[in-house]
Amino acid sequence: AIQMTQSPSSLSASVGDRVTITCRASQGIRNDLGWYQQKPGKAPKLLIYAASSLQSGVPSRFSGSGSGTDFNLTISSLQPEDFATYYCLQDYNYPLTFGPGTKVDIK
Amino acid sequence: QLQLQESGPGLVKPSETLSLTCTVSGGSISSSSYYWAWIRQPPGKGLEWIGNIFYSGTTFYNPSLKSRVTISVDTSKNQFSLKLSSVTAADTALYYCTRHVLASGFVVSYYGMDAWGQGTTVTVSS
């Protein structure tokens, strides 16, 4: 199975900060990666699919990049509602695997 | 607007079978554009993929659960279901059903899990 790692595991940031989260796959996965945001007590929400495509309705401050094994999720200007945990998911092949998550909290 | 709703017992005894159903409304489960998936999240932990099913009945399972998992689909009811046998406390989790979007094209690829149920908590305890 493809292993997904994320860094950092947590970060503290201020409103307005630029934040970048990294996801790394144990083998190449083309661009078959999505990013999900989860707030406490809520289901995950798809932000980015196919590594860099913005899901409909998601603010443009979210962007994704990368291909192969290394991927980034960037929030250009952190907003209060962005404090959450972020997960990557590879859907290149089965079994699908999630990263362990990155918790973004308020500095 | 598409909605997914999980249902099933919130408490299951050890060694018994966990059974959940996901009812899809606002769209057809019999679409060639989607797989349907189960995801779970143990308390305070990350997300784990359990398995996917296509409306035709094609399934993919997590190898770590494969011997205990069965996912099925009932197109007449617009539902898909999860059965997990021989449960232990380690199966205590929040269980989500989701829609996994198939990308168009010659190469099989996906556009992420774009719709999720609210989740249902299952506790394994005697």
Over the Cα atoms of chain B, what is R_g? Answer: 14
pLDDT in tens, B14-68: 999 999 999 999 999 999 999 999 999 999 999 999 999 999 999 999 999 989 9
The pLDDT assigned to B105 comes to: 76
pLDDT in tens, B58-115: 999 999 998 999 999 999 999 999 999 999 999 999 999 999 999 887 778 889 999 9
Mutation target vs A (from B2, B49, B102; most A CBs, 10 A cutoff): B49
Residue indicated by tokens 């005894």:
B13
Per-residue pLDDT of chain A (107 residues; tens, 9 = 90+): 999 999 999 999 999 999 999 999 999 999 999 999 999 999 999 999 999 999 999 999 999 999 999 999 999 999 999 999 999 999 999 999 999 999 999 88
pLDDT in tens, A39-68: 999 999 999 999 999 999 999 999 999 999
> CA–CA distance from B77 to each of A3, B7, B28 (Å)?
36, 14, 10
Q: Could you give the CA distance from residue B95 to residue B39 in angstroms, rounded to a whole number?
A: 6
CB A62 within 8 A of CB A75: yes
Smallest CA-to-CA distance from A31 within A39, A41, A23 is with: A23
Mutation target vs B (from A46, A52, A58, A96; most B CBs, 10 A cutoff): A96
* Angle (nearest 5°) at CA B80 between B49 and B21: 85
SS3 A81: helix
Q: Partners of B116 in the beta sheet?
A: B98
* Angle (nearest 5°) at CA A85 between B40 and A10: 120
> CA–CA distance from A24 to each of A5, A100, B13 (Å)?
5, 11, 38
Structure-block tokens of residue A23: 């996801």
The pLDDT assigned to B108 comes to: 80
Chain A residues with at least one Cβ partner in B under 8 Å: 1, 30, 32, 34, 36, 38, 43-46, 48-50, 53, 55, 87, 89, 91-92, 94-101
Q: Could you give the CA distance from residue B36 to residue B84 in angstroms, rounded to a whole number?
A: 17
